[in-house]
Every structure is written in C-alpha cells, then in structure tokens.
Structure 1
Amino acid sequence: MNTRSGIRHRAVSVISRSRRRSAGSILINTAIALSLIVITLIGTELGYLFYLKRELQKTADLAALAGAQGLGVNNCAAATNAAVTNAAQNMPVGLAPLAAESVVCGRWDPALKPTSPHFGPPDSGQKFNAVRVTISRTPQLLLAGIPGNQPRPITVDAMAAQQNPRANLSIRTTLATIDSTQSPLLNAILGGFLGGGLNIDAVGWNGVLNTNVKLLTFIDQLGINLGIGVGKYDQVLSTNVSVGTLIQAMIDALQRSGNTAQVVIDALNAVKVTATAAAAQPLLKLGDLLGVQTGTDAAALNTDIQLFQLLQGVVQAANAKNGLTATASLPLSGLATITTNVKVIEPPQLSATGNPALAKLNPTGPDQIYVRTAQVRTLISIDLPALSGITSLVNALTNALAPVTDLLNNLLSLNLFTGLQNILGCTLGCTRNVTDLKILPAPVRLDISLDAGGAASRVTDFSCTSGATSLTAQTTTSAATLRVGSLGATAAAAKANAFSSSAPPPVNPVPVIDIGSQSCQLGLLGIGVVSCDSSTRKAYYGGGLGLKADVPVASSTQSQFFANPPTLDQPPTYLAIVTQNIVNSVSDTLKALNLLIPIPPTAPGGGLSSVLSGLTNTLSSVINILTSVVSGVLSPLLDPLVNTLLSNVLGVNLAQAEVGGRLSCSSGAELVY
C-alpha cells in the first residue's frame, strides 16, 4: 500500500512540473515573436525614413542644379524660381513644397573660401555662380502607437555651381626668328627699357622665342614665391610685383615643368640681373598684362603663352611705368649710323580669359575679354652730315633756281632800284639789302617721330551650339601718327618734346629753301655785287620752303570670326589683322603729301607765300626735285625704323599682328556639395 501511494505521488509531481515548463516555453516564444514583430515594424519605419531622406536629397540635388542653370549671368530671382519649380515636381507626396527662403544664391570658390563648403556671399566685383538648397521636413510616423517612437526630422543640403563657357584671346606678332642683326637691337631696347644693358646672343633670344610657359603654372609659382599660395589667382594678379620677381617666377615655372633648354634659363637670368640692378624698379600688376575675369577657375588658366611675348610685355610695362627712354643705333645702308630713341607709352595686354557670356553683355565693361599690343613712340634725329644723298640735290637746285633769284629780288622788294634815283644813288657804288637764297641752310637736323598705336581686340559674341561653336572678336588697328620736321631747337629739346606726356610734340618745318637778305656792296651804277656782309643776313626775311609733316595713318575696325575654335587646353587658332603695312602706309602718305610748305616771312610786306602764284611755273620743277629727293632720303630711314625696330624688336607693326581665339563650351551646372 505504502509503496503504491508513493509511486502515485511522484507521478503527479512530474506531471505538474511538465505543465509548468510548457507554460514558460509559450511565454518565451510569445515574447520572442512580439519582439520580432516590433523590430520588423521599427525597421520598416527606419526604412521609410531612409527612403524619404534619399528622395529629399534627390529633390534638393535636382533643385540646386536647376537653380544654378537658372542663374544665367547673376540672376538670383530666376535661379530661385527654377529651383522651387523643379522641387515641386520631385518632392515626395505628403511633404510641404520647397519655399523660396530655402534657396540661397552665393559664390562657390574653393580658392578664396578654403573652409568647406567653400560657399558664401560674393566678394566685391564678383557675381553669383552657385545655388544652395536646404530641405528640412518631419514626416508622419508609420507606427505612431509604438511607445517611444517619436517623429524624426530629416534635413538634406545640396549645392550646385555653374559650369560657364570660357574664352581666351591672345595677340602676337608673326616674328619667327631672331637673326644676328636683331639681337643687338633687342639688347639695346629691352635693356634700355629696364634702365641697364643686356648681352644676350641670337641663340638665347631664339630659345626664349620658341618656348611656351603654362599660364596656370606660372601664376601658381608666382603665388608661392610671393607667399600667397596656390589657387588664389585674383590675389596674385592684383598684387604689385617687381620685374625681377616676375622673371624669377618664369624661371621656376619652366624648371618645374622640365625640358627647358639651359640657354633659355640663362637668357631669363640675364634679364633678371638687369632688372634688379636698375635704379628704377617699378612695381607691376600681372593682371595688367594678363586679363583674367574675377573668379576665373583653374581650368580657364590651363593655357600656354609664348615666353618671349610674356617677357617682352613685362619689360614694356616696366618702361611705361618708369618713363625711361631706350637708345639704340641703327646702321643704315648708305647713311651714317643714326641714334634712335624709343619709349612705351602704353604697355601691351597679351592674353585675356573669361566667361564670354559676361563679355558679350558688355564688351567694354569690367568683364571684358580684351587684348592689345603696346603703343610705342620712336624718335630719330638726323644731322646734315648723315644725309649724304642730298649733295646731288644742292647741285640740281642751284641751276634750277638761278633765274629765280632776280625775279625774287623784284617781287620781294629787296633789290628794287629803278629810274634816276637808283642810278644817282649808286654812281659811285652803294650798299643795299639783296636777296640771299640758301638751300638746306646749316645746321640742319631732321626729326622723324612715329607713334605706333598697335592693335586691340575684344570678344563681342560666341556660340556653343553643338558641332558649330564660334567666337567673334572686334579688332581695331589704332591710328599711327607720323611727324617729320623739327621737334625742338636742339636734339635734347626735340627728345623732351617728343616724349612729353602733357601735350603732343610741336612740329616746325625744317628749312629747305631759305629766302633771306643780307647787306651787299653794289658796283658802279648799281650793277653787280662787289661784296656782302654775311653778318647782316636776316634768315626767313622773305620766308621760304620747309619740310614738314604731321599726319595720322588711319585706323580701321574689323570683325574676326573663329569657327569651331580649339578649347583652352589646345594651341589657339590665329587670324591675321587685315590692314595695310605701316611702312607702306607711311610711304604712300609721304608720296601724297606736299612735304614742302611755304614758311611765313618774319618781316612785313614779304614772303614767298604771297608770290607763289606768280612763281608756280618757275618753281614747279624745283618743288618736284625737292620732293623726289627728300622722299628718297626718308624712305631708307623709315623702312628700317619700322620694319627692323618696331616690327621685329617690339612687335608693334600692325600688319604683323595676329589674334588667337580659344573657346571651351562646358556649360551647365555640377553638384559641388
């Protein structure tokens, strides 16, 4: 009995424990299942939030791109409207539309705004180039009843910057090589511009001529040398820098790029030594030589420029600042060596880069893309001994004017002895004022001054149509001015007048025929001249004929069209300026001019101008001889003056100027944040 009762009791206990274990297992499984459900619901909620954030980011990105494209040229209102309109098409359902105040126009500039996201208000003179869109929304919860599940705000940000087309103009001459005769002129002129001397041979100059320098590398190197840093282009271009510092940056940039001949480095070092040793060391702004629109990015500066043009421009700009006059000797065939003085009145601007859309709106405004050659003034003074070709003129005119003298004596009332008074007064001889006609009376100094205005070009239009891009420039050849005569009583005065910045130089005629008078002892009954007192001679008493010219060589304006121009990272396409050569123009001007003009008398009642009508037939052959000989003398002077000095050395011959055009049409916008 007792045994069975114990067994029964143990069985009941086992069953009871089993039931309790089953109940606990169900609770655990239920808890696990509920947890999984909650996790799934939370995951769904989070997934929904991530989905909304992605959709809002996409909306912000597209709105920022639309806004940047809608900026046009600094139109924030249009950009804001474009961004709001675009966001309305992409905003997830149930969320509030984008408000205008969530769209901000500004300027994205990693160089000038180094702190991320490199965005802020434009600096003075800059324009909007980027749009920032911020969207902040708090979506409704999918599981609002879950304890602790609170609404979560979602904020997204997007910024897009414009990709503007970029155009580049450059101007150069067609100089292809420097021979041994040009090297001394380059040394004399460019060295004189700096206030010192140079001794670079033709090999060195040709090396400089045939070397290009990357503009971006040069500006970055200059920024490093100045302690400004890399990428701060606007700051570097607007900083005052010495010529020596600029040349050192050229040297460093070329050495960084490698493959530069040592002869080029040596030539640059020679120019640098002259510049740093000169008493006058003017400070220059690189931006005065290289026109770059404010805020231009690195891609627009990734272009080549000829080293000789850059060096020449720097030196010419220095000369325009310090006002030095360079002196060079021109050996002319058949004539004595003549000293020539040269000064830069206005320096060149060799290259210009910027947004053609801005330049098109105002081609002459602050965003212009504009280049020009230098304006150079030259002066040659020749003394009579150098004009050996005029010896034949004296002989020819002596015979031609012999029969004219008596006529002049009568017409000018210088030797009017008529009737009994004349006979009685000179029975035993008498003294009277007698016409004294001189040809090229000494001393004779002929001044030739030439202002070469150069050429200028600016962007006026462009097109970025696919497959048919184009760039249009308006190019003007500035008027040159030729002055022939006497610019001053002495050579020093002529030089001071020629290079005066306050007023154009005065041009007075150089006497070729001087009709004066002097006291002479006449023979018996007033017949014949016994002797004359040269100390009594009065020059210009009756006037004369003089040599003078003060004429402009007309300017012209033309449109240059670059069809499918290369991009900025490629060599430019050059178009020549279609104009007449200065030398030919000057020669034609001289042929068309009546260089021999009447000189007014200094005494009343006389003067050749009053009797020219009566002497036309007699003097016509004389004037023709004079004009022919004088033109023959001027021609060998002007040809080497302009062709050798101005064209080959200074690059200001209008007929040799060329304008290069480049255009990159990567327009639109890109996300930058």
Structure 2
Amino acid sequence: MLLHACNGIGRLARLMLSDRKANFTVMAALSAPVALALAAVAIDEASIYTERREAQAMVDLAAITAASNMTNVNTAVVTTLTDNGMPGVVVQSSGQTIEPAVGKTVVTVTPGRYVASGANVGQRFQASITPYNAVRVTLKKIPARYFASSLIPTPVIGTQATASMTPQATFSVGSRLASLDGGILNALLGGLLGSNISLSVMDYNALISADVSVLSFVDGLATQLNLTGVSYSDVLASKATVGQIATAMANVPGLGNTAKVALQTIASKSTSTVQIPLSHLVDLGSVGKLGLGQRPAGLGVDASALGMLTAAAGLANGSKQVDVALGATI
C-alpha cells in the first residue's frame, strides 16, 4: 500500500515537471515589475532631457535680455525667466549658497567683459571686469519626475549662457539753418502736406533744435498703430500717415513744449490719408530685432524733428511736384 502511494506521487511529480504550459505566464509575472521600473526610469529620463533643453533656451534668452539692460541685470533675468514660466526664481548673490528645490529655481547673474579674440571660448568672458559689456547667467533647478522618484536619486538641472552686447556709436541726423523765414517754410511744408500750415519762426527754430529719440518715436508709432508685443522691425514694416507720425514725435519724452505744440498743430492740420511705408523713413539695422521698449547698450539714435517731418511729408507727397510762390530773391 505504501509503495503504491509513493509510486503515485512520483508519477504526479513527473507530470507536473514536464508540463510547460504556464511557463510564459510565470516568466511574465516575474519580469513585469522589472519592465515597469525600466519604463518609469525611461519616461522620467526623457522628461528631464526635454526640461533641460527648455531651461537652456530660457537661460539664453535671459542672458540676451540682461546684456541689453546692463544697469539692471538681475531684474532683467528674473523677469524674463518668470514671464516664460520658470517657477520661484531666486538670485544667488556672490558668497551665498542656495540649493534648488521643487518649485524654487536658483540663478547666478555675473556681469563682466567679453572680448572676441583668438583665446579659447571659455576664456573670452572675464567676470566682474569693467566696463561691462556681457552677462553670464547660471541656472539650477530640480526637474519634475513622474514615476521613478523612488528609484533614482534626485537630479539637478544645470545650464549656463553668456551674452554680450556690442556697443555702437551714437549718431544724430538733422540739419541746421543759418536763418529762417516762417512764410517760406509754411508754404513749403503746407505744399508738401497739401494743407494750410501757419507756424512762427519760433516754432520752426524749436523743431530744428529738437532732437527726437528714434526708438522712442517708434514706440509712439506702435501706440498710434495699436501694435503690442512686437519688435521695432515689425513696427517699421507697417505704414502710417503724416498725422500719425507727427503725433508720435510730439509724444516723445523730453521734447520741448514749443516743439511739442508745433508738432501737434501740424498733426491736426494734416488731412492727407496717404500712408507712408515706415521702412522708407527709418532703418534701424540689427537694432530692429529688439522688442519695443528695449534699449541697446551704448547706442543712442537721434534725429531732427523737422528733418523727420519733412522727410515724411516728402514721402507722402510722392512724385507730385509742389508749386509754391515763395516770393524770395536769390
């Protein structure tokens, strides 16, 4: 009896060991946790890589903005990063050690001097050397993780960018007359505008003496044309009437009261609806890539108010001739 029972158990064991129908299920059950862990790590690694690239792009933009605002680099960097969705930006000053955390981004802003030379790229920027013409921005942050936070150590994203602003010479465009005749100038300007202009010699002297900041003038044109969030080149790609141009010049900060009133008078008297391509009036070159309100370091662009106005009037007049009886003896 006992021998028979032992033989039966042996046969049953051999049958179970030789049956391979459930092998795949067992192997899948054993390997599933490993596969899920690897998938979690892969997803988080891809997310971290994407977040690092986005952070680098934002640091590049912040460095460029700071280089264009050398007098207030910290504010420029914080504003740029915050406006682009970077959370909790904190500036780390010299001598401080601030560790990044979830929801807190640590940046270091270092002004200095960049010299384009044959030296290695890493040696061209000299920190804290005056006069400043460049900014280095370093960023550290904790990236978002979705699945593998318990499997891999907490990483820190670190990016860096250096931007420099090449100074350009200040220039002024305008003309100066030895003497004025109000009647003649009224006739000429009125003929160009197709309207009756009545300004005094004092008004014309004020317009000749007034230098208008061209960038502030374009800012004013953007307001007249209801353009927001654009660059200077975008504004100059538009068209405006002489009245809008005169109004924009009248609103430029720092303009004397006499010149301001004269420009307002011309704007009100100008009835022409001809729209002038602004790119024919002003060409800012590479400065045009800047956004409205930004000012390049070391560059001031000024123009005579009367020179700008007569140029605009001439463009509005086009190829038409002006027949004016000046009553002058040469």
Return the TM-score normalized by structure 1: 0.26
Structure richer in strand, relative to its length: 1
Structure richer in helix, relative to its length: 2
Larger Rg, first or second structure (1 or 2): 1
Give the number of the structure with larger relative contact order, counting CA–CA contacts within 8 Å between residues 6 or more apart.
2
